[in-house]
A and B are shown apart, each in its own frame.
Chain A
Amino acid sequence: MSDKVKFTIDGKECTGKKGQLLVDAATENGVYIPVLCHWKDVEPAASCRICTVRVNGNYITACTTTVEEGSTVENDTPEIRDMRKTIVEMLFVEGNHFCPSCEKSGDCDLQALGYLYQMMVPRFPYAFENREIQASSPKIFLDKNRCIFCKRCIRMIKDDQDRNYFAFKGRGNHLEITIDEKLAAGMTEEQAQRAMEICPVGAILRKEVGFITPIGKRKYDKVPIGSDIESQNKKGGEK
């Protein structure tokens, strides 16, 4: 029996593998479904909800759903776009995001989604939470003001004994990301760099090397987020 699964996203015929996550299958088919917490091959956290799509009429997160034969997926519809824009706005007002002086500007997924969905002014009041900065580990500057609780750092950045450098502490409104300062003292440059790269915002910064990528060379300076995936789509379509 073939393990190929056929389905459609916004009318486009797509093929995936049995058991494959919808978000990954979409990527392989040149369809961009935005993600903030998902990372391929890492246990899903499903915390951001930005990947929400409609599968056969039901809202569901594409990073936790596997592809089903014959299913109809709605992804880039006006309704879903507006809902995603709402999520982006909520993330912006919940933290303290000052893009003009943030070194992740141009490389930040949250900012890039703000541009993609043409967020102008958030519809919600700013929370202006007073969040702490944790700067005492030698390689990482952790700016909690910018954390969007995607858990990527917790799930992905560990030492050689599988111990976490990062963890959440507190609950509800008081939830915050924190770094184990003792453990983090032994972090390598590569781990610090990796942590900064996988953080979708500017919460994790590598110390002392800020702003080394000139404007024009940053990820989203020239093309919107998702264009790398969508360009495959175009190539496919042209054939």
Chain B
Amino acid sequence: MAQKITIEPVTRIEGHGKVTVHLDDNMNVDQTRLHIVEFRGFERFIQGRPYWEAPVHVQRLCGICPVSHHLAAAKALDVIVGAGTGEGLTPTGEKMRRLMHYGQIFQSHSLHFFHLCSPDFLFGYDADPEKRNVVGVVNEFPELATQAVMMRKYGQEVINYTAGKKIHGTGAIPGGINKNLPVEERDLLLKGDDPLNADKMIEYAEGGLAVFKDIYSKNKDFIDNFAHFPSNHMSLVRKDGALDLYHGLLRAVDKDGKKILHDIDYQEYHKYIEEEVRSWSYMKFPYLREYGTDKGWYRVGPLARLNTVDFIPTPKAQAEFEKFKAHTEGKPNNHCLHTHWARLIETLHAAEMIKELLQDPDLQKDDLVTKGTKGNEGVGLIEAPRGTLFHHYKINENDQVSMCNLIVSTTNNNEPMNQSVNFVAKNMMSGQPVITEPMKNAVEIAIRAYDPCLSCATHALGKMPLEISMYGPRGEKLDNYRS
């Protein structure tokens, strides 16, 4: 008797997501689908608006990583105002934006791992959900919890001084930035009172990585085998192959590390990337045109980035990167939960980058904006905390936005998230007539490895308004699960 189980997490941030598990007559999982109701309204709202409003307007898409949208939009508009495609800004303009971005990466990665995902590892995915949450971490690992709070706070201060506000600032404008970093502000970030200074943050980031490694050594089987499947990987890389989260060329490698997208200029992304529409999902499925829908899908995000780049241009993170690469003998790492490992290496890199940038006197200069010959179209890409983010705009002769296309990280990861959820369901739900809380959490862990936006708000308190419904072959409801 075929059955359909529906897991429906109602969320506040990305509309809502729902998982349907289709069981076959033998009660084995036949197929699993993650349906995300993606809200694409911003692409419509922005039409007719003045182009310079886009970076401020479109960032409202997200409350966790608005800076990524703010900067991706600004980068697309740099092209439109003739300030070049990444290298044309003044040193102050570019470095202030980079600082903002690394502040964002630092705070978002800290939130993602420590606040949202660490409870699953520190207590076990099947631990009592009353304990398996951020409050549980505070109670049992107070030092770690305090450090995590400080890391997030520090990242937000970096954003505050570069964007003007911790959330939804206005710093990046087409062609540059609207402020520099006065010495007083720099000193607050560079050598502020403990722990809010650059050195302490590097130390905390190293500590966080050590925590993960410790967890890993104790749970190797679980972490290695959870939703582990081969895929392509895509990210921006610096011209010399280094990890660069702010700007670069677009590269993709296959599961064995062979380059399948050869460091292209992302202004031409549409020549290489296409989005597939599937009847059962509102969210599109991007793929590399040359390889088709079956073979061309890819992962983005921390794991994909470390699989794509050749090296990390800061010493401590590079040393960790070498260990990470050695683990898979230099080949791409396809273990879903190693995304957290990669994320923590990037967190360390972000802390090192912040320190490096803060020591750069260009941040105190006054030449903030570049303008050139105006065009009518521009693409801006950035490596957002959760992966490659695309912003593409066209404007009309009256300076109004006439077209906007956004491919957000979650969309880029649509197929891999589906694959992960399917993997988990097949392994944990087959042969079972009921859904237990740990099974439900396992599905969430798979999603959270990529994107906490689907579940963060509620998971933080261990209670996700989650409904699982089980249907018989004629659509009759057989069972219902509510957390």
Contact of A210 among B165, B171, B173 (CB under 8 A): B173
Min Cβ gap A137→B in Å is 9
- A209, B51: Cα distance in complex, Å: 10
Once A103-B56, A141-B50, A207-B50 are accepted as A-B contacts, the answer to whether A212 and B178 lie under 8 Å apart by CB is yes
- A56 within 8 Å of B by Cβ? no
Q: Which of A135, A136, A209, A210 has most B Cβ within 10 Å?
A: A210
- B237 within 8 Å of A by Cβ? no
Identify whether the interface residues of B are mostly helix, strand, loop, or mixed.
Answer: loop
- A103, B165: Cα distance in complex, Å: 14
Min Cβ gap A12→B in Å is 37
Residue on A with the closest CB to B165? A215
Q: Which residues of A are found within 8 Å of B55, using beta-carbon distances? A: 211
Q: Which of B49, B164, B171 has most A Cβ within 10 Å?
A: B164
- B69 within 8 Å of A by Cβ? no
Residues in B155-176 with C-beta less than 8 Å from chain A? 163-165, 168-171, 173-174
Once A141-B50, A208-B81 are accepted as A-B contacts, the answer to whether A214 and B57 lie under 8 Å apart by CB is no
- A101 within 8 Å of B by Cβ? yes
Interface string of A202-239 (1 = CB under 8 A from B): 00010111111111110000000000000000000000
Query: Contact: A210 with B57, CB < 8 Å?
Result: no
Interface string of B31-57 (1 = CB under 8 A from A): 000000000000000001110110111
- B398 within 8 Å of A by Cβ? yes
- A170 within 8 Å of B by Cβ? no
Contact of A216 among B60, B164, B398 (CB under 8 A): B164
Q: Which residues of B are found within 8 Å of A208, using beta-carbon distances? A: 52, 81, 174, 399
Query: Contact: A136 with B169, CB < 8 Å?
Result: no
Query: Contact: B50 with A211, CB < 8 Å?
Result: no
Min Cβ gap A187→B in Å is 15
Query: Contact: A135 with B53, CB < 8 Å?
Result: no
Once A135-B398, A205-B50, A208-B52 are accepted as A-B contacts, the answer to whether A214 and B81 lie under 8 Å apart by CB is no
Which range holds the interface residue count of chain B? 20 to 34
Once A100-B60, A103-B53 are accepted as A-B contacts, the answer to whether A213 and B178 lie under 8 Å apart by CB is yes
- A133 within 8 Å of B by Cβ? yes
Contact of B56 among A101, A133, A141, A207 (CB under 8 A): A101
Query: Contact: A214 with B52, CB < 8 Å?
Result: no
Min Cβ gap A61→B in Å is 34
- A211, B178: Cα distance in complex, Å: 7
- B430 within 8 Å of A by Cβ? no
Contact of B178 among A100, A136, A214 (CB under 8 A): A214
Interface string of A91-129 (1 = CB under 8 A from B): 000000000110100000000000000000000000000
- Sample of 20 further A-B pairs with CB below 8 A, known A207-B399, A212-B178, A214-B170: A101-B49, A103-B52, A103-B53, A103-B170, A133-B48, A133-B400, A135-B50, A135-B400, A208-B174, A210-B173, A211-B53, A211-B55, A212-B369, A214-B164, A214-B171, A214-B178, A215-B163, A215-B164, A215-B169, A217-B179
For the complex of A and B, the 9 pairs showing the least CB-CB separation, nearest first, are: A215-B164, A210-B52, A214-B179, A135-B398, A101-B57, A214-B178, A211-B170, A214-B164, A141-B50
